[in-house]
Amino acid sequence: MTGSILFQAIIFLAGAVICVPLAKRLGLSSVLGYLLAGILIGPYILGFVGEEGEDILHFAEFGVVMMLFLIGLEIEPKDFWKMRKTIIGMGGMQVLLTMIVSYLLFTSIGFNWKVSLVLSMTVALSSTAISLQTLKEKGLMDTTYGASSFSILLFQDIIVIPMLAVIPLLSAVQVASEADDHSNAVQGALLDNLPFGQQAAAIMLSVALVILAGRYVFVPMLRLVSKTRLRELLTASALLIVLAIAFLMELVGLSPALGAFLGGVVLANSEFKHELESDLDPFKGLLLGLFFMAVGASINFVVIGEKPLMITSLVLGVILLKAVVLYGVGAFFRLKTDQRLLLTVGLAQIGEFAFVLLSFAFQLKILSDTQLDIMLVVTALTMALAPIIGILNERLVLPRIGTKQSEKRPIDHIAKTHKVILVGFGHFGSTVGRFLRASGIEATILDNDSSRVDLLRKMGFEVYYGDATRSDLLESAGIQEARVLICAIDNPDIAIPLAGMIRKKYPHVKLMMRSKNRYDAYELLNMGIQDVYRESLETSVKLAGDVLAHLGFRKYTIHRQAQNFIKYDEEALRRLAESLKNKEEYIFRVREEIELQEQLLEEDLKRGLIEDDKQWDSELLRLAYLSNES
């Protein structure tokens, strides 16, 4: 009964439901909660999960595949291309230095050169699952540390391919000599018997197929499915895409996670981006949780009990070695101290691909039973310790070194309220606030960065600390009597939910929203919010106007054309918001709007020069401009 799949499902789900909330309540990461659950239900404590834990681990690795697909959806191809130097530079340096140092250490303690090379490869890899899950959980993907970590992890996923190709060259055992042995090999790819040149060509062809399929197969398929208006069919299609890409990558010996990431990047510009994210995110979270639990269950406490000193030394040695290399890489690329420390701690563990490399090397008789058991335990322990070390770094080290994180403290008591509430007092919000105050209008100012609040108070601003998405803070800020709420927050993940809450709970308040780009503006407009202000619009138009002035245009002409341009662009923005869901229609409408806008501005310019343009500049300058035009 205990071996049935239903019982196993109950055990894993119960472990997650009990341990993860407990970990979050104690201020720990969810990753640590999953690992703890895996240890508890594993074969060495409660014994609910036995030898099948390894099979579960391989199945749960699909969570890593889904995670990289979703991350790929957030990165447009042009942004990915911009990262190429960071990926090769930081990633290549980290892998190369880690392999060299660890190889020298392993040979110095008695391992032969082949074993040392295999072990140095495994040590060079970090856990994509743990690192990226932590980054997403803490909202650090858009930081320098987040971008650096992602670049290194992506390079590691790429370098696994040549690593798997090199390992058979170290062995005297020919795994391809028998058909059965070959079918059980870790690579198991269709291309194993082909010459290297043909393998490389097939791999390039597979990558090209993923790119072409993303544009000419997946998107048309999703459009066809979306017409059925069946949500479950769209979910099935999303799973089919990820599974198909992963399967193709496995066939040619590539990392399924890397292929899924590439597929996500290809689909990042499609109109189904958000649907794919929302459909796959629950599966990703569940499978990642299962992966972390399987890692916890795979920790062999018998091996730890037999060789505690060796295991402890290797675990601490690996973490310290990787930390030193990562800190050096961060220093070479001039990361700030706090970002360098986050990078050092975040990637100092061995990754999940180490399980693949170690198992493959064992099948090829490069590693002995004992060496395999020891390294599997060391790998699992470094992964289990990673969240704990991250918490210690966050709470004990970072507050004393580098840039301090914002304090978590109770919201301020607001003694005086005004008819205007201003949320967010960074560069954008402070400009709005200063102009209002200079015009005799006071605003109740809220900001959730405690360090900035303290600094602004020293400068003479009356700013209150607190999270504006909390109803109690808004109530104390006088939202019931307020007439206007200005949202100057630059993060759409906070601003858009805040707008939705205000419209629902306080419909009498006029909302005036900052948006970072057109797409954020579309979302706000489609929510029914009319007063949306794109932060770069006026600045971009002013820069273009200064270029025109430098080229001899008259200032009044420039001013009038700039105002007309903004007016026409705002009108077009509202019209285009309705057609955003259909990408082909949207592109067609954009082209129409641009042509119309240019036509109107050209007519305004000609009419204005002849009839109205008699202000601001001298008649002599106007005549000189007209003579140059003729």
Encode 201-215 in three state secondary structure: HHHHHHHHHHHHHHH
Give pLDDT, residue 188.
Answer: 45
Residue predicted with more confidence, 93 or 170: 93
In the beta sheet, which residues pair with residue 485?
A: 421, 511
Q: What percent of the chain has pLDDT over 70?
A: 79
DSSP annotation string for 226-280: HTTT-HHHHHHHHHHHHHHHHHHHHHTT--HHHHHHHHHHHTTTSTTHHHHHHHH
Q: What percent of the chain has pLDDT over 90?
A: 9
186 contact partners, CB below 8 Å, separation of at least 6: 164, 356, 359, 360, 363
Contact criterion met (CB below 8 Å) for 450 and 466: no
Give pLDDT, residue 185.
Answer: 40
Residue predicted with more confidence, 141 or 191: 141
Q: What gap in Å lies between CA 69 and CA 63, rounded to an integer?
A: 10
Residue predicted with more confidence, 556 or 312: 312
Q: Which amino acid is at 433?
A: G
466 contact partners, CB below 8 Å, separation of at least 6: 411, 412, 446, 448, 473
Q: What gap in Å lies between CA 252 and CA 265, rounded to an integer?
A: 20
Mean pLDDT, residues 27-32: 75
Give pLDDT, residue 26.
Answer: 77
Contact criterion met (CB below 8 Å) for 213 and 225: no
Give pLDDT, residue 88.
Answer: 87
The whole-chain average pLDDT of the chain stands at 77
For 396, the token pair is: 């004990």
* Global confidence as pTM: 0.56
Mean pLDDT, residues 40-46: 82
**Domain 5-397, what fold?**
Na+/H+ antiporter like fold (1.20.1530)
In the three-class reduction of DSSP (H, G, I as helix; E, B as strand; rest coil), residue 288 is classed as helix
Looking at the structure, give the CATH architecture of the domain made up of residues 407-534: 3-Layer(aba) Sandwich (3.40)
Decide if pLDDT at 452 tops 80. Answer: no
In the beta sheet, which residues pair with residue 464?
A: 446
Decide if pLDDT at 402 tops 60. Answer: no
Q: What gap in Å lies between CA 527 and CA 267, rounded to an integer?
A: 25
pLDDT single digits (tens) 297-349: 877 888 888 889 999 999 999 999 999 999 999 999 888 887 888 889 889 99
- Say how many C-beta atoms besides its own lie within 10 A of residue 404's C-beta: 12
Give pLDDT, residue 94.
Answer: 94
For 61, the token pair is: 């690795």
Measure the CA angle with vertex 369, ends 365 and 372; round to 5°.
90
Q: What gap in Å lies between CA 472 and CA 274, rounded to an integer?
A: 31
Side-chain-facing half-sphere of 8: CA atoms under 13 Å: 16
Going by the DSSP 8-state scheme, the letter that residue 422 receives in this structure is: E
Mean pLDDT, residues 493-504: 86
Give pLDDT, residue 102.
Answer: 94
pLDDT bin (cut points 50, 70, 90) of residue 179 is: very low
**Which position has the token pair 């404590």?**
45
pLDDT single digits (tens) 119-173: 999 999 998 878 887 887 777 776 788 888 888 988 887 787 788 778 878 876 5
Residue predicted with more confidence, 414 or 145: 145
Decide if pLDDT at 450 tops 80. Answer: no
Q: What gap in Å lies between CA 503 and CA 92, rounded to an integer?
A: 50
- Say how many C-beta atoms besides its own lie within 10 A of residue 481's C-beta: 11
Q: How far apart are the first and last CA of the chain?
A: 93
Q: Which amino acid is at 552?
A: G
In the three-class reduction of DSSP (H, G, I as helix; E, B as strand; rest coil), residue 519 is classed as helix
Residue predicted with more confidence, 543 or 411: 543
Give pLDDT, residue 186.
Answer: 39
Break the chain into its structural domains and give their ranges: 5-397, 407-534, 536-630
Residue predicted with more confidence, 218 or 519: 218
Q: What share of the chain is helix, strand, coil (3-state, %, to 5)?
A: 70, 5, 25
DSSP annotation string for 535-563: TTHHHHHHHHHHHHHHTT--HHHHHHHHH
Give pLDDT, residue 7.
Answer: 81
Q: Which amino acid is at 612?
A: D
pLDDT single digits (tens) 453-473: 777 777 667 788 777 887 777
Q: What gap in Å lies between CA 628 and CA 630, rounded to an integer?
A: 5
Contact criterion met (CB below 8 Å) for 281 and 70: yes
pLDDT bin (cut points 50, 70, 90) of residue 190 is: low
Q: 485 phi and psi, to 5 degrees?
A: -120, 120
Decide if pLDDT at 427 tops 50. Answer: yes
Instruction: Identify the CA nearest to 352 among candidates 383, 377, 330.
Output: 383
| DSSP-H helix ranges across 47-127 | 53-60, 62-73, 77-82, 84-86, 92-108, 113-124
For 324, the token pair is: 């030193």
Going by the DSSP 8-state scheme, the letter that residue 327 receives in this structure is: H
pLDDT bin (cut points 50, 70, 90) of residue 287 is: confident
Q: What gap in Å lies between CA 170 and CA 187, rounded to an integer?
A: 15
Q: Out of 74-83, 222-231, 556-565, pick the least confident.
A: 74-83
Q: What gap in Å lies between CA 570 and CA 577, rounded to an integer?
A: 11
Most confident of 102-111, 255-264, 267-276: 102-111
